[in-house]
C-alpha cells in the first residue's frame, strides 16, 4: 500500500467519523483495502437518501479504477447499478490521484440528476439497466465557454468525454468565441454537462487547476429532419463569423446561429 493511499484512508476516516459512517472491511498489502462509507444523497424532492458505498482499492490504485458497489434500501437494484456505473465513469477522469472523497461528494450532490428525475425513476426491482434511463432520441445542445486557458489539456479532456459518452459534434473556435456543439443521446449530454461543471478541466489565472464556472447552455433541441447528423466529434477553428455561419448552415442550424451565436460577438 503506497503512502498516498495511507494518507487518503486516514483522511477518509477523519472525514467520515460519525456513527457507522466508516468501516474498513479488509486491508492487505497484496490485495489492497476494502471499506464502506455510509452517507446520504439528495433526491429530486430534496429528501435524504441513505447510500452504502463499498470501495475496493487494488494494490495499484490510484493508477487503476477502484472497485465500487452501491446499496440502498430506498432505491431499486437497477438504480444502484446506474449509480455505480456513473461513479465509475466519473472515476475515469480522476485516475492517478486520490479520488474517493471526490466521488462521494459527487454522488451526494448529483444523485438526483441520476435517479431523481420523475421520468427516470425505476419502479420495479426486476427492470433492466437499459430501461432505467429513458430514451429521448437524439438531441443537439450548444454550449458557450467564456475562455480556455489550458487549451491543449482542455481539448483533450473534451475529446475524451465525448468519445466515452459517444457524442458527436464540434468544438469551435472563432476569435474569442468558443462553442461546443454536442449531438447524441440526451442522457449522455446531461452526463457530459455534469462532467463539465464538476471536473477540474482548466486552470485559473494563477495556473492552479479549476472547475469550469463560466459555461452557458445557449440552446437545446431534439434533432429534426433538417438537421445534419454528425458522424464524429471534431475540433475546428474558423477565421471569421461568416465561416462559422457556414458550419451552422450545413448543419441546418442557421436560425439558431442568428439567435444565439451572433449576439456573442457584441459581448
| pLDDT tens readout for residues 64-117 | 999 999 999 888 888 888 899 999 999 999 988 899 999 999 999 888 888 754
Distance between CA atoms of residues 129 and 80, nearest Å? 10
Q: Which three cell numbers stand for residue 113?
A: 440528476
> Which CATH code is given to the segment(s) 3-132?
3.10.110.10
Q: Which CATH architecture has domain 138-266?
A: 2-Layer Sandwich (3.30)
Neighbours of 44 (CB within 10 A): 16
Cis peptide before 107, with omega less than 30 degrees from 0?
A: no
- Domain positions in the chain: 3-132, 138-266
By percentage, how much of the chain surpasses pLDDT 70? 87
Q: Is the predicted pLDDT of residue 29 greater than 70, yes or no?
A: yes
Start-to-end C-alpha separation, the chain = 52
pLDDT at 120: 39
Question: pTM to 2 decimals?
Answer: 0.49
**Kind of pairing, strands 67-71 and 32-42?**
unpaired
Amino acid at each position: 500500500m503506497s503512502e498516498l493511499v495511507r494518507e487518503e484512508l486516514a483522511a477518509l476516516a477523519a472525514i467520515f467519523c460519525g456513527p457507522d459512517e466508516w468501516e474498513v472491511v479488509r486491508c492487505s498489502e497484496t490485495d489492497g483495502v476494502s471499506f464502506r462509507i455510509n452517507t446520504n444523497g439528495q433526491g429530486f424532492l430534496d429528501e435524504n437518501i441513505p447510500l452504502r458505498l463499498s470501495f475496493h482499492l487494488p494494490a495499484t490504485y490510484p493508477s487503476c479504477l477502484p472497485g465500487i458497489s452501491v446499496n440502498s434500501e430506498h432505491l431499486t437494484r437497477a438504480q444502484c447499478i446506474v449509480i455505480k456505473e456513473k461513479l465509475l465513469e466519473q472515476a475515469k477522469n480522476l485516475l492517478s490521484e486520490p479520488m474517493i472523497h471526490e466521488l462521494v461528494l459527487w454522488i451526494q450532490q448529483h444523485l438526483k440528476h441520476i435517479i431523481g428525475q420523475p421520468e427516470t425513476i425505476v419502479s420495479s426491482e426486476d427492470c433492466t439497466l437499459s430501461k432505467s434511463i429513458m430514451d429521448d432520441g437524439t438531441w443537439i445542445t450548444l454550449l458557450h465557454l467564456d475562455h480556455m486557458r489550458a487549451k491543449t489539456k482542455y481539448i483533450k479532456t473534451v475529446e475524451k468525454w465525448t468519445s466515452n459518452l459517444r457524442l458527436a459534434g464540434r468544438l469551435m473556435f472563432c476569435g474569442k468565441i468558443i462553442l461546443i456543439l454536442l449531438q447524441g443521446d440526451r442522457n449522455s449530454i446531461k452526463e457530459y454537462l455534469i462532467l463539465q461543471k464538476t471536473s477540474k478541466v482548466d486552470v485559473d489565472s494563477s495556473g492552479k487547476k479549476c472547475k469550469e464556472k463560466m459555461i452557458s447552455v445557449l440552446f437545446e433541441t431534439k434533432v429534426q429532419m433538417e438537421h445534419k447528423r454528425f458522424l464524429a466529434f471534431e475540433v475546428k477553428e474558423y477565421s471569421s463569423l461568416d465561416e462559422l455561419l457556414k458550419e451552422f448552415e450545413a448543419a441546418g442550424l442557421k436560425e439558431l446561429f442568428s439567435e444565439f451565436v451572433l449576439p456573442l460577438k457584441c459581448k
